[in-house]
Amino acid sequence: NKKPDNEEETNNYVSKDNTARIYDEKEHDKVIDSLKDKAILKDIKTVTRKIESKLPFSTSSLQQEAGLTLHLDSASITSAAQYLYEHGFVTYIRTDGVNMSKEFVFKARKFIETQYGAQYVGPIKKGIIATNNSNPHEAIRVTSLSRTPDAVKKYFGDKTTKEYKLYKLIYERTL
């Protein structure tokens, strides 16, 4: 393996064991084009990975995720979540629960099957369906899956509002 002249461009792809990790076709084509006549391609492996869905949001996990992905401070997240709750878009926002009602879980599975196909309906994660436990509140979730982010954006002005961004984040985690 000859080391490429344009080292800065290709270092993003080469791992410690001197193998490249490329995750999509565009990235693959870009790397191959940048290495023409500079390196020898020995092997290509295609790997399919299964990504597990994350648990629904509790108050603290919503704060963490929204802070990291939406770059909002805690006060902004809390006020946007409170607005969504007061206007009936999401369930109660002060909860430690990560479970959902049995009825909602089965409606969600049916919705996913209808909208996206049966191949996208995965197994129900252990602990998702609410049982008789000490936490009276469900996880933070949307109140209706038919209220897609695109369908409700008119209620939030444009797509840049913190309420819209937070609703979209909660909707995607709910599914």
- Single out the residue of 83, 54, 89 nearest to residue 69, CA to CA: 54
Catalytic residue ranges: 92
**Number of C-beta neighbours around residue 4 at 10 A:** 18
Residue 98 CA to residue 111 CA, distance in Å, equals 20
Residue 139 CA to residue 82 CA, distance in Å, equals 15
